[in-house]
Structures are given as C-alpha cells and as structure tokens.
Amino acid sequence: MQRRYLSLAAAATATTMTLTLTGCGGGSGDGDVTLKLIAADYGDSEANSSQHYWDQLARAFEKKNPGIKVDVEVDSWTNVDKHVEDLVKEGKAPDLAQIGAYADYAAKGKLYSADQLLSIPVQADFTPSLAEAGEYHRVQYGMPFGASTRRLFYNKKLFAQAGITSPPKTWDDIAHDAALLKAHGVKMPYALPLGPEETQAETLMWMLSGGGSYTDTIGKYQINSPENIKTFNWLKDDLVGKGLTGSDPAKLNREDAFAGFADGDVGMLNGHPTLMKQAEAKGIDYGTVDLPGVKGPAKATMGVADWMMAFKQNGHRAEAGKFLDFVYSDKNVEKFSGDYGLLPVTTSASQTMMADDHYAKLHSFLKQLAGAEFYPADKTSWPLVSKTVKARMGAAVGPNGNPAGVLTDIQNTADTEDNSGE
C-alpha cells in the first residue's frame, strides 16, 4: 500500500467516531458472554507459544469483567488463516481473529469497523501508517497487531575478513561487496530468498529500493513499471547472474536464509527484528543499515502488520470492543512487542520503547515505521497477486528468466482480479 498521510482524515474520522461511538465498547451486554478468539502463534517453541501470552491476558481481563469470558485458540501461521476462512464458510465465525488478512471479510460485510468497537483514545493511538494499512474503502476494519520493518543485515566479521570497511549504501556497493565476499569463500555473499515462503516480501523490498512498489500513489497496481523491470533485470544480470547469491533464489526460503546468516554462511541479506535474536544466539556480530537503493538509501522500507478483526456473526460488538480496549492498553502492547521482538502498533507504546535503552537495537526499525510501505492488503485481489508473485518471481531472475515478461504477467493477473472482484 502506498504511503498517505492522514492528519486531516484522522481528524475527520475522530469527529465521525464521536457521533457513532456512543455506548460503544462499554458494558458486557445482558448476561454472561464467551468471546472466541483465534490467534496466530508468534513463538518458535511450546515454551514461548503465544498461547501463554493470551491465556494470561484473558484471565486478567476476566477478573476485571466477570460477565465476559474469553476462549483463546492459538494456531500456527501455516494454518491459522485457512482455519478462520473455513470457520467463516461454515457459518461458525469466531468473535475475534488475529491473522494475516482482513480485506476479503470486510468486502463481504462480515466485520465490525474499528470505530464500532474501540474507544476513541484507543483507536486514535494506532500508529497512523498502520491504521491506514488496515482500511478497506477508507474505513478501518483491520486493527494492527504486531508490526515490523526491514533493514539490511551484514556480518561484520565476514566483511572485515574481505577487507570491506563500511556497509553498502547503493546497489553498486552491494555487488562490489558481494564479489569481495565471494572471493574470500563466503558461501552466500548476498542471500536472496525468492523461494515460495515469503517471496512477496523480498520482492517489495527490492521494488522500493529501485524506486517502485506494487501500487502507485492512488492504489493502482504498477507491478510492471519501468522501475520494477529495471530492478529485477539488475538482480538477474548483476547479482544472480554473477554468482553472488550462492544459491538459486527460487529455491531459497527466508527461514533458510536467516538460518544461514545465524550460522555465519551469509554475508548480507534483508531482515526483520527477529533475526537479531537468532543471530545473537549463535554469536554473530552483525550490523544493520537502511535498505540500499540505486544511488543511495531506498526511498522507504517495507512494513508488515498482522491484523486483529471482529466478526459480526455472533453479535458481541460491545463485549469484543471492551476486550480490545484491554488488549490495546499500553501495558499489554508493550509486553507483546517485547516478548516477540516486534514493533508496537500504538504511538504511546512506540514512544515508551524509543525512550528505553533496553530496546536500543529496535530503535532503528521503529524509526522507519511511520514512513514504511505495506502490502496492498486493502485490495481483495492481493491474496491472488501475492500467491502469483511467490510462484513466479524466483525463476524470473534465474539464468533463463525474463523479468519484464513475468512482471507483466503478474500485472495482467492483478488487473483481471481487480476488475472482477471490486
């Protein structure tokens, strides 16, 4: 999603909320209610599963609100979106879902809007760029829950061994440094994960670094723009074609690239905050910098947010709103972000984190959040476009790849889906 700044729109929304929020989120309705929440798991083991976080939070909420029970089911990211989708199709929608996409449910009229749920101070506290990324047709249905931005990570030890004295700032620097790393025996000088796991993310990061994006300033797809074609031609010819990635990008997943960096086999790659813990656990001395661009740092970095949403089916608007006000309190937002190495989604929690030296390594990621660009998740066509990008972009930069042809095919797919679905 393109960046737009919403100070005026936010003021207008606040005025609208004042008129529509009377009684919203207050009280627990008549009698006892049990809210069903299905949430994604951010942990990497049973010991730090998100189930522990939600169970603790739900019990604390129930003590303060004896008329409302909260039943939380945590599922893996591999399954959770499909699990919710299946329940909705069966007519068994949960009251709340914390998953990866909201737009399709919003388009079908299945969700409460944020201003029907949250108190005015809570909704107004969302980081503006994240609040906007949660809009469908300029109404917020997706409430951000967990965010991150991307930076270039580099291995300081490998750089020093190759005689590289400063991290890259431009594409030419990346190619130059990768060549030196390759000459010094580094297995993957630049890890380029365009495998099926998260190709859509690596693709957007490179689009941004080349001055492009998935969409233009009014939200229309520009996948085969001249800037994007130039970017992927450069990757094909100047990075992959010269053997500077050390592996076939189409077969390299982000998880494996991160593991390679933590093992000391990768010189540099694009990463998010959780890579810091992974690298530190293996004793890797690393640094991070803004994503390099054609002539200097990229115009923006990629931002990612996951989404909380509330379904209308069970009619528990007031109870769900009361619980969400509790979920988004500063204390709970800060705890979740700290536990899982993510960025807070509210302005107040972000300010607290920026003022705390304990989170110093997250500060550079957090500073980027306000100007980050997000997936066009407000478009119901995005799931198909994302799936197509995952299937096609890796081969596009391979020996027999045709970036312009692949980008144009994806553009045609996006346009067709847009025209049929919106």
Provide DSSP, 180-225.
HHHHTT-SEEE----STTTHHHHHHHHHHHTT--SB-TTS-B-TT-
Whether pLDDT at 45 is above 90: no
- What pTM did the predictor assign? 0.85
Give CA–CA dist 375/15, Å, rounded: 28
Q: What does the pLDDT average to over 51-80?
A: 95
What does the pLDDT read at residue 44?
75
Give CA–CA dist 376/383, Å, rounded: 10
**In sequence order, which residues have a C-beta less than 8 Å from that of residue 360 and are 6 or more positions away?**
none
Give CA–CA dist 144/130, Å, rounded: 6
Q: pLDDT, tens digit, for every residue of 111-152? A: 999 999 999 999 999 999 999 999 999 999 999 999 999 999
Percent of the chain with pLDDT strictly greater than 70? 92
Residue carrying structure tokens 């008129």? 19
DSSP tag of 121 = H
Q: Extract the tokens encoding 151.
A: 């930076």
Q: What are phi and psi of 167, to 5 degrees?
A: -70, 160
What does the pLDDT read at residue 347?
95
User: Does domain 151-301+379-421 correspond to CATH entry 3.40.190.10?
Assistant: yes
DSSP string, 251-303: G--HHHHHHHHHTT-EEEEEE-THHHHHHHHTT--EEEEPPBBSSSB-S--BE
Q: Extract the tokens encoding 373.
A: 């660009």
Neighbouring CB atoms inside 10 A of 400's CB total: 7
307 closest CA partner among 117, 135, 169: 135
Where do you find CATH 3.40.190.10 in the chain?
7-148+303-371, 151-301+379-421
Q: Which fold has domain 7-148+303-371?
A: D-Maltodextrin-Binding Protein; domain 2 (3.40.190)
Model confidence at 71, pLDDT cuts 50, 70, 90, reads very high
Model confidence at 29, pLDDT cuts 50, 70, 90, reads very low
Q: Extract the tokens encoding 362.
A: 């997250």
What does the pLDDT read at residue 21?
37
What does the pLDDT read at residue 17?
39
Model confidence at 421, pLDDT cuts 50, 70, 90, reads low
202 closest CA partner among 154, 249, 256, 240: 249
What does the pLDDT read at residue 4?
31
HSE of 86, CA atoms in CB hemisphere, 13 A: 6
Three-state DSSP at 155 gives strand
Q: Extract the tokens encoding 72.
A: 């939380």
Give CA–CA dist 99/271, Å, rounded: 21
Model confidence at 46, pLDDT cuts 50, 70, 90, reads confident
Give CA–CA dist 389/99, Å, rounded: 20
Whether pLDDT at 247 is above 60: yes
Q: What does the pLDDT average to over 88-94?
A: 97
Report helix angle 226-234 to 199-209, nearest 10. 110
Three-state DSSP at 162 gives coil
The letter for the amino acid at 348 is S
Give CA–CA dist 1/21, Å, rounded: 28
**Ranges of H-type helices in 65-147:** 80-89, 103-107, 120-124, 128-133
273 closest CA partner among 317, 334, 227, 337: 337
Q: pLDDT, tens digit, for every residue of 309-358? A: 999 999 999 999 999 999 999 999 999 998 888 999 999 999 999 999 99
What does the pLDDT read at residue 48?
85
Whether pLDDT at 249 is above 90: yes
Percent of the chain with pLDDT strictly greater than 90? 84
Q: Extract the tokens encoding 128.
A: 């503006």
Q: For residue 354, with 0-12 CB atoms within 10 Å meaning exposed, 13-18 middle and 19 or more buried, which class applies?
A: middle
61-100 exposure pattern, b = at least 16 Cβ within 10 A, e = fewer: beeebeebebebebbeeeebbebbbebbeeeebbbbbbbb
What does the pLDDT read at residue 31?
56
Three-state DSSP at 67 gives coil
What does the pLDDT read at residue 389?
97
Whether pLDDT at 422 is above 90: no
